[in-house]
């Protein structure tokens, strides 16, 4: 199982957090230099602010450096001096701040490079373990902080309710994926990712109001699908002369559903009422093109090629 794999792998979120911390320390260091240069009579809090910043910053960047790094010893010495005299404004403060900032920039650039690293050479098993850890963080966030905030916010068949509905479904997919933690689950995981991406497209189509009467179509479509399935079952029962068919209920349903289909999705060129296969009545690629999302557009292209290969078809 992935969570039992002990192979050391890059932790993207830990690296990202370090990058954010080093960025904040850089901004604080620049502000200290500005305050130090602003007047010949610095404010009374400046010595302690400089000492605090230097000690905290060096504590942050030293673990990122090898012991033989050229400035390692110098940074340790600077930190020691400021720990011994935190209330005194040292004459060498500006030079020492510059030294720390220079090394902080190097540490920050290293974390940025690590975040953008190409993981293609990481062994597949290790990469799976890394992705599982990141998914667990997301899953914990969904369970502990997100789901409770979504409950009870629906307000009828509106865009807001549709967005909450889709978002909740994405959350459930994420929680389900946490149970698919073995190599034998690879196909189910791939299907889960596909469903999440397609739900992401639906969510954005609603949020950006890309489909006319989007919320009504979204909430009506499940009834159309139920009717379609029921009609198939009724026709099969009639074909094989099985009992218990309720043709009166079916006929009433036929009229209601057909009226909804005609009003929301219109008619074909031949004058037949459209039978939508999706609430937008568009295929995945058409839906993605409305959003201009290059990543999902790339996925849609790959997905359609995979479908064509699976069905032994040549895409036109």
Question: If you average pLDDT over every residue of the chain, what do you get?
Answer: 81
Percent of the chain with pLDDT over 70: 83
CB neighbour class for 26 (10 Å; exposed up to 12, middle 13-18, buried from 19): middle
pLDDT digits (tens, 9 = 90+) for 265-309: 999 999 999 999 999 999 988 898 898 877 777 777 767 666 655
Which sequence spans correspond to the domains of the chain? 7-115, 122-207, 212-273, 280-316
Q: Which residues contact 152 (CB under 8 A, 6 or more apart)?
A: none
CA distance 79 to 52: 10
pLDDT of residue 12: 63
CA distance 316 to 305: 10
pLDDT digits (tens, 9 = 90+) for 74-103: 899 999 989 877 778 888 888 999 999 988
CA distance 293 to 284: 12
Count H helices, E strands: the chain?
12, 0
């Amino acid at each position: 199982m992935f969570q039992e794999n002990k192979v050391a792998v890059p932790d993207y979120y830990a690296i990202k957090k370090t990058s954010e911390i080093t960025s904040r320390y850089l901004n604080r260091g620049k502000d200290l230099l500005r305050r130090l240069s602003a007047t010949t009579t610095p404010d009374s809090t400046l010595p302690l602010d400089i000492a605090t910043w230097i000690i905290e910053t060096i504590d942050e960047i030293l673990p990122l450096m090898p012991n033989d790094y050229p400035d390692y010893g110098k940074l340790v010495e600077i930190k020691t001096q400021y720990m011994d005299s935190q209330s005194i404004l040292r004459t060498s403060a500006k030079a020492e701040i510059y030294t720390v900032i220079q090394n902080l920039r190097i540490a920050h650039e290293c974390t940025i490079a690590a975040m953008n690293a190409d993981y293609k050479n990481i062994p597949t098993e290790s990469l799976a373990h890394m992705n599982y850890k990141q998914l667990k963080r997301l899953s914990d966030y969904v369970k502990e902080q997100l789901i409770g905030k979504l409950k009870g916010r629906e307000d009828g068949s509106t865009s807001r309710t549709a967005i909450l509905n889709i978002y909740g479904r994405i959350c459930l997919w994420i929680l389900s994926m946490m149970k698919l933690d073995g190599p034998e689950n690879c196909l189910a995981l791939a299907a889960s990712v596909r469903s999440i991406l397609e739900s992401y497209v639906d969510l954005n189509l609603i949020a950006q109001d890309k489909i006319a009467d989007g919320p009504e179509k979204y909430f009506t479509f499940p009834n159309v699908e139920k009717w379609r399935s029921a009609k198939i079952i009724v026709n099969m029962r009639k074909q094989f002369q099985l009992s218990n068919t309720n043709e009166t209920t079916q006929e009433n349903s036929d009229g209601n559903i057909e009226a909804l289909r005609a009003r929301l999705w219109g008619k074909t060129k031949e004058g037949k009422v459209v039978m939508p296969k999706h609430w937008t009545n568009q295929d995945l690629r058409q839906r993605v093109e409305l959003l201009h999302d290059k990543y999902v557009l790339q996925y849609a292209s790959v997905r359609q090629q995979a479908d064509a290969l699976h069905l032994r078809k040549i895409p036109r």
